[in-house]
Amino acid sequence: MFLFVVRFIFLAITALSSLVFRLIFSATAYLLVLIIQGCRLPSQAVQGGLQLIADATRACFELVLEFIVEKISSSTAAAFDLSDRRYFSFCCSHRISS
């Protein structure tokens, strides 16, 4: 009978300590999961912010390129107009002189 009581006491202590350790490890695992999710959400926000910055930079870059292309084409057209006027004025003045 004494052996049965001692065995029951050790069984209760073992079960209680197992329950406490399981509770501690489960709580630690849940806390670790929450920390990982907490770190993941700000990184998604940072990624979204960086995506917005990239889109804004891309849009500005496209506007600058369009402006440069427009200025180059208008300068080229102006240069051809100027050369056409000089050529035609030279040809017309040369024909009149002849």
d(CA 24, CA 32): 12
Domain locations along the chain: 1-98
pLDDT given for residue 87 in this prediction: 67
* Residue 77: half-sphere exposure toward Cβ, Cα within 13 Å: 6
Question: Roughly how many angstroms between the first and final C-alpha of the chain, as a whole number?
Answer: 142
Q: Is the pLDDT of residue 90 over 70?
A: no
User: Six-digit token pair at 64?
Assistant: 């600058």
Q: Which of 4, 23, 5 is nearest to 15 (CA)?
A: 23
Q: What angle do CA 90, 95, 98 make, to 5 degrees?
A: 125
pLDDT digits (tens, 9 = 90+) for 37-59: 877 777 777 788 889 889 999 99
